[in-house]
Amino acid sequence: MARIKMAVQKQEVTTLSNCFEEFLKHCKRKNLSEATIKSYRHHLAKFFQYFGDDTDIMLLTQNTIYDYVSHLQEVLDNPTTINTGLRHLKAFMKFLNEQGYINAVKITFLKVQETTKDCYTEQELRMLLRKPDVKHCSFAEYRNWCIVNFLVGTGCRISTLINVRIADIDFDNAYVTFRHTKNKQPQINPLPQNLISIIQDYLDVRKGTGEDYLFCSELGVQLHPHSASHAIMFYNRSRGVSKTSAHLFRHTFAKNRVMQGGDIFRLQKVLGHQTLQMSQHYSNLYGVEALQNTDSFNLFNRLQSPTKIKVK
């Protein structure tokens, strides 16, 4: 009598790479920017290198994640870099848990000693804000000078700046509407009067209609984030300033607000932060310096007026 053979059903394995593709589709459905999605690919590269693309998703447990963090501490010296990767990993792990692939995994960030950013000094800003000879300089140099003025005056991100259209500037009420922001929410920011004048003079040269981008290439097309950052880098060097980061203007703006006694709630609104966390971060970084200069904006001191001593 022949033996009865039972058909063995092969259980399909859900791999790490398949789940990551699902995660990326999830990010696109949430309308996250291409830059954010690219950031997930970049910062999770070490994670996939460690576990392998074809790893069964069920192998991701609290202990294996602990092992991975220990591995990162061995191969990377900078805890800030590790935490950046862990923030991206936390979002991925949360997605996997919500989809029922894995049990909840706790991601613990490393403690990092906060250090102050080396912002632009007043002397460096004076060098950068010195107006070029418009009659003899190139359009690119004049535009870059205007861009630096705009970054110093508003503290916006470079990705926000390159998406500002001429119509977004309200010259009568002195404000700009930022329509391209990190949190995808329109943001209205006040503009200093001298910056308004600079933009008006610039538009006499730049021309264009309301729908055109405010800061464009010499061919009139929108600047790419990398080309705008490189333009600032070359401009700064041409002015004898070794610092070349466009984003450093944002830190400098935030520091100045804190140093002048500005509260974190207004700072949050001006910088467009979704939460108070980043604004609080700036306050923690520069709060000590602000306390050292407290006499300059202390209400008690401002209310005091020197009076003559009368002798009866």
What's the pLDDT tens digit per position in 6-22? 443 444 668 999 999 99
Query: What does the block give as tokens for 283?
Result: 């306050």
Give 233: exposed, middle or buried? Use CB within 10 Å, 0-12, 13-18, 19+.
middle
Half-sphere exposure of residue 115: CA atoms within 13 angstroms, side-chain side: 5
Task: Answer with the residue of higher pLDDT: 138 or 279.
Answer: 138
pTM score, two decimals?
0.71
Q: What is the mean pLDDT of residues 23-27?
A: 96
Within the chain, all domains assigned CATH 1.10.150 are found at 16-98
- Give the tens place of pLDDT for each residue, 156-212: 999 999 999 999 999 999 999 999 888 788 999 999 999 999 999 999 999 999 999
- Give the tens place of pLDDT for each residue, 44-55: 999 999 999 899
In the CATH scheme, what is the homologous superfamily, with its name and number, of domain 122-294? Intergrase catalytic core (1.10.443.10)
Domain 16-98, what fold? Answer: DNA polymerase; domain 1 (1.10.150)
pLDDT of residue 294: 46
Within the chain, all domains assigned CATH 1.10.443.10 are found at 122-294
| Residue 286 contacts residue 259 (beta carbons within 8 Å) | yes
Give the H/E segment covering residue 190.
strand 187-190
pLDDT of residue 255: 84
Residues in the chain: 312
Task: Answer with the residue of higher pLDDT: 206 or 260.
Answer: 206
